[in-house]
Amino acid sequence: MLWNYILVAFLPFSLGYNNFRIGGVFEGYDGIGCVFGKSASTLREILGSDPKNLTKYVTTDEELKLWDVQTKVCELMEKGVVAIFGPLSPQSLSHAYSMCDAMGIPHIATTLSIDDKLKSINFYPHSEALSTLYYDLVVEYNWKTYTILYENKISLLMIKPLLERWNSTGYTVSVRLLNGPDYRRMLRDVKLSGEQNFIIDCSVEILPEVLKQALQVGLLFHKFNLIITSLDLQTINYQPYQYSGMNITALRLIDPDNELVQIINYKKPDCGKLTTNKAVMYDAVQFVALAFKNLTNSTKKIVRSLPCDGSEIWEHGETLTNYIRTGSMEGLTGIVKFDTRGYRSEFAVDILNLGEDGLKKIGIWNSTRGFKWIPKPVILEADTELSLHNQTFRVLISLTKPYASVKDSLTKRVGNDRFEGYTVDIIDELSKMCGFNYTFMVQDDKNYGSYNNFTGEWNGMIGKIRANEADLAIADLTITQQREEAVDFTLPFMSLGISILYRRPTKAEGSLLSFLSPLTLDVWFYLTAAYIFVSIELVILGRLSSAEWVNPYPCIDEPQELKNQLTFSNCLWFTLGALMQQGSEIAPVGMSTRLLAGCWWFFCLIMVSSYTANLASSLTYETPVQPFRDAFDLARQSKIKYGAKKGGSTLAFFQGSDKKEYRHIYETMMNDAKNCLTSSNEEGVEKVKTEDFAFFMESSTIEYETERDCSLTKIGPQLDEKGYGIAMRKNSPYRHDLIAAILELQENGKLSKLKLKWWSEKHGGGSCVQASSSVPSELNLKNVGGVYLVLFIGIGISFIWTIIELLLYVAAQSHEYNISFKEELIKELKFVIQFNRSSKPVRRRAPSRRSGISTTECASIDTSNTNFEDSVC
């Protein structure tokens, strides 16, 4: 190990738990100190407070001297700590242990130790248990001869039981030291020795070089078998060796399927790859904090500073040690628990095979129960024609309503009769059609199957199909591209897409201006414009039309003047009266003005009726308040939490998406995996009902839930389109028969009938058919454009009509008074544009010139200076 510098981390927690402080002394920086800090920084959940005042002492000493250990440990004791972690090297470790032991402070070790005199609390599995594992493995493989390549004294002790297997009756064991950096010669000798079974026992630091050189000399050959005892093969680049054809067995303590490991790997704390030593350190910090919490539940004010002269000891140290030795916890390294001798007990090690598909789990070794092997998958030959008839299939189902569930029954049911549901009925139909028998198996954890990039393995239903633990899997199991590479699917028996399940929106309160809502803003604007325009038009037409100039005093036969009622204010009042459906005492009398008024009334009639109808429906409809309309809205906000099923295709959709928003959704869910990811859809639905939570779920299941619970609804459009299929092993000979049978079920309507039965009829289906109350929409210009058109055509015709009337009138006048047409027209128009005048003098034919009187006589009350009068009087 490189001893580049020393890291002393001192972590105090100011909290109700009496200033929890742990100290660590670590040589070199291979990430152990970093993990120590990271693990401590997550103790909020256990201790209820954030770590404060993290202090680090860093030195660049090449080697850790005993004196340095002493100084740093003393420094920590004087600050007051509840436990001291490290250092990592055996010599420094025992020195730190003696100091802690003298002062009653628990001393924590996290590395492999072969020194049984060292009574530190060691979280690393004991060497005795690991050597038993190696021995058991060799016995399981029935190796009679083997060669062990070992690195140093420690590894020699680890392989002691393997050496003891040698005896003169036929067991041959050879041992070779890995004396680097050039191992080639030794490896070549080993290869030429004729041995076929090898065990490499060395640290992960030199393992890549040893394997590389073994490959170079041809030791990694397909006829040979190799066991690598390091628990960290998965942290190095093993790709160059996976195609060697050699039967390579590896071991690991960290299960990458462990939820906690997945979260830690996802968050990628910048401490390098998660090696076994780091995982053990992470667990140790958590475990000590847990034990300390239990201790402080019974004792108050306990942490204190201790002088390093050994004059005082910490009175609670032994109790804390007892709490640690008797506690248990689930950590990154599985169950953390100690036996009576103070060694890790009940821990499990995965047995892996390194082959072309990468590292594949082939079994588990448990320190108390021994081996459990995973059955080898049976790879069926492609195109082998096998009839389904009379075959018995193990069919994997998941108890998720309505796809499958346990029947409610007072009598005890056995076998397949225990289950009911949509997928149960489909299998039943298929078995009748194809003549096969089946036995249902239940996937208890409802894990449908996801691929672990770290191990190259599938878990869940897909994993079981691949491992030949079941023949068919049917559930709401989505066909995805990645899954199709691992297993075969039938054609989809149901289509769906991802959508959002959320609480039904609440109703919004009505607004003060809701009377405006029937019409859009631009319709209101055009309505006002039309009102003003028609009023002005009426004034102009009224002035132009001779019929509108009427005798104001009907009892006088020959009035002095004519009056026009269509003044600007009267016209505004008239059009307003029509618009308000009230009428007015003003009424046009000319043909053209009446035409215009008629068109306006028609316009008003349609507009007012449309407004009234739309107002009635918009007042009765209460607009629902939707906090978000789709997944994008949801991604933009942070108030409402959202999630999806853990390990499901929905989560995989967001993970694999290249849309920024979907990636954001995925990251948000992973960052708060504990609250956002659920182990089943039911758990997600429950969260939606009880919390402010939106759940990404498949539309078919959303439909099922919303038909039964009226407080739930589907929000937004579907994010994708996919289907559920029946999974079977790759190249399964039954695939085509099953596809044909599914197609037949589709064509004869059986699938739709089953859907209706399980969605809308059984188990309270149809009790909440969501009424499609369409939101009344505002009337826009498109809806009422036609009425405007009619109005403008009317305006145009009445205008033309008026012009014709005017011209005829002017022609008659010019003839009667013997004036040129043009002159008369100009005079008339000049009068028309005098909008302030609403009376017109009556022109009379005067006596002939011969009587000495002018030809026309002007009689007007209003004799003000106008062009009209100037010309005629």
Shortest distance (Å) from residue 696 CB to ligand GLU: 7
The CB-of-483 to ligand GLU minimum distance in angstroms stands at 8
Contact 269, 275 (CB under 8 A): no
Sign of the Cα pseudo-torsion (70, 73, 78, 83, in order): negative
Distance (Å, whole) CA 622 – CA 504:
14
Query: Least CB distance from residue 679 to ligand GLU, whole Å?
Result: 11
Pairing outcome for strands 20-27 and 83-85: parallel
| Region binding ligand GLU by CB under 6 A among candidate stretches 319-327, 337-345, 476-484, 487-495 | 476-484
Residue from 103, 404, 635, 697 touching ligand GLU (CB under 6 A): that is 697
Told to check if 477 binds ligand GLU by CB under 6 A, we report: yes
Tell me: does residue 698 bind ligand GLU (CB under 6 A).
yes
Minimal distance in Å, beta carbon 425 to ligand GLU?
A: 18
Q: CB-wise, 312 or 630, nearer to ligand GLU? A: 630
Which residue is it, tokens 């215009």? 596
Of the pair 255, 698, the CB lying nearest ligand GLU is at 698
Q: In this complex, which beta carbon is closest to ligand GLU, that of residue 77 or of residue 644? A: 644
| CA angle, residues 274, 278, 279, in degrees to nearest 5 | 75
User: Do 363 and 351 contact (CB within 8 A), yes or no?
Assistant: yes
Residue in this structure with the two tokens 């600007």, named with its chain if needed: 568
Cα(525)–Cα(531) distance, rounded to whole angstroms? 10
- Cis bond before residue 240 (omega within 30° of 0): no
Q: Which is nearer to ligand GLU, 176 or 663 (CB)?
A: 663
Only one of the segments 230-238, 251-259, 474-482, 590-598 lies at the binding site for ligand GLU (rule: CB under 6 A); that segment is 474-482
Q: Which stretch binds ligand GLU (CB under 6 A): 40-48, 473-481, 593-601, 781-789?
A: 473-481
Q: Does 705 bind ligand GLU (CB under 6 A)?
A: no
Strand, coil or helix: what is 722? strand
Nearer to ligand GLU, 72 or 446 (CB): 446
* Nearest residue to the partner ligand GLU, using Cβ: 648
Integer distance in angstroms from the first to the last C-alpha of the chain? 126
CB of 477 to ligand GLU, least distance (A): 5
Q: Which of 350, 476, 805, 824: binder of ligand GLU (CB under 6 A)?
A: 476
Distance CA 706, CA 689 (A): 12
Going by C-alpha positions, the residue among 128, 171, 129 that lies closest to residue 147 is 171
The residue among 358, 339, 338 whose CA lies nearest residue 256 is 358
| Cβ neighbours of residue 479 closer than 8 Å, sequence gap 6 or more | 489, 492, 722, 723, 724, 725
Helix, strand and coil percent figures for the chain, each rounded to 5: 40, 20, 40
Residue 440 has which token pair?
Answer: 């249902």
CA 843 – CA 872 distance, rounded (Å): 8
Q: Which is nearer to ligand GLU, 234 or 480 (CB)?
A: 480
- Measured from the CB of residue 634, what is the shortest distance to ligand GLU in angstroms? 16
- Residue 847, preceding bond cis, omega within 30 degrees? no
147 binds ligand GLU (CB under 6 A): no
Q: How far is the CB of 362 from ligand GLU (least distance, A)?
A: 25
Closer CB to ligand GLU, 207 or 685, in the complex: 685
Q: Which residues of 614-638 are buried (b: 16+ CB within 10 A; e: fewer)?
A: bbeebeeeebeebbbeebebbbeee
CB of 697 to ligand GLU, least distance (A): 5
Q: Which is nearer to ligand GLU, 337 or 645 (CB)?
A: 645
Under the binding rule (CB under 6 A), the answer on residue 420 touching ligand GLU is no
Rounded to an integer, what distance in angstroms lies between the CA atom of residue 190 and that of residue 177?
A: 11
Question: In angstroms, what is the minimal distance from the CB of 450 to ligand GLU?
Answer: 8
Asked if 465 interacts with ligand GLU (CB under 6 A), we say no
Residue 633 C-beta: closest distance to ligand GLU, Å: 20
**Residue 829 falls in which region: left (phi positive, over 0), alpha (psi -120 to 50) or beta:** alpha
Nearest CB to ligand GLU, comparing residues 116 and 667: 667
C-beta separation of 303 from 80 below 8 A? yes
Query: Which uninterrupted H or E stretch holds 249?
Result: strand 247-252
> Are the C-beta atoms of residues 135 and 112 closer than 8 Å to each other?
no
Q: How far apart are CA 228 and CA 251, in angstroms?
A: 7
Give 187: exposed, middle or buried? Use CB within 10 Å, 0-12, 13-18, 19+.
Answer: buried
Residues within window 739-758 making contact with ligand GLU, judged by CB under 6 A: none
Question: Closer to ligand GLU at the Cβ: 292 or 654?
Answer: 654
Radius of gyration of the chain (CA): 46
Q: How far apart are CA 784 and CA 771, in angstroms?
A: 29
CB of 404 to ligand GLU, least distance (A): 13
HEC string for 407-428: CCCCCCCCHHHHEECHHHHHHH
Closer residue to ligand GLU in complex, CB, 120/650? 650
DSSP code of residue 778? P
Q: Pick out residues in 665-684 that bind ligand GLU (CB under 6 A).
A: 681
Complex with ligand GLU: residue 645 or 843, whichever CB lies closer:
645
Q: Choose between 234 and 681: whose C-beta lies nearer to ligand GLU.
A: 681
User: Which is nearer to ligand GLU, 173 or 461 (by Cβ)?
Assistant: 461
- Site residues for ligand GLU, 629-658, by CB under 6 A, read 644-645, 648-650
195 vs 686, beta carbon nearer ligand GLU: 686
Q: Read off the DSSP letter of residue 759.
A: I
* Spatial CA neighbour of 487 closest among 451, 515, 445, 516: 451
Looking at 91-99, 411-419, 470-478, 605-613, which segment touches ligand GLU (CB under 6 A)?
A: 470-478
| CA 550 – CA 558 distance, rounded (Å) | 11
Output the smallest distance, CB 698 to ligand GLU, in A: 5
Size of the site for ligand GLU (CB under 6 A): 12
The tokens describing 615, both together, are 């107002």
Separation between Cα atoms, residue 484 and residue 321, nearest integer Å: 52
Residue 709 interacting with ligand GLU (CB under 6 A)? no
What is the b/e burial string over 530-561, where b = at least 16 CB atoms within 10 angstroms of the residue's CB?
Answer: bbeebbebbbbbbbbbbbbbeeeeeeeeebbb
Q: In the bound complex, what is the minimum distance in angstroms from residue 730's beta carbon to ligand GLU?
A: 18
Which of 495/834 has CB closer to ligand GLU? 495
**Segment near ligand GLU (CB under 6 A); pick from 475-483, 535-543, 548-556, 557-565:** 475-483
Pick the closer one to ligand GLU by CB: 9 or 477: 477
Q: Does the footprint of ligand GLU cover residue 405 (CB under 6 A)?
A: no
The CB-of-180 to ligand GLU minimum distance in angstroms stands at 47
For ligand GLU, which residue of 92, 478, 546, 860 counts as binding (CB under 6 A)?
478
Beta bridge partners of 27: 6
**Under rule CB under 6 A, residue 448 binds ligand GLU:** yes
Pair 578, 766: CB distance under 8 Å:
no
CB nearer ligand GLU, residue 423 or residue 802: 423
Name the residues that contact ligand GLU, by CB under 6 A.
448, 476-478, 644-645, 648-650, 681, 697-698
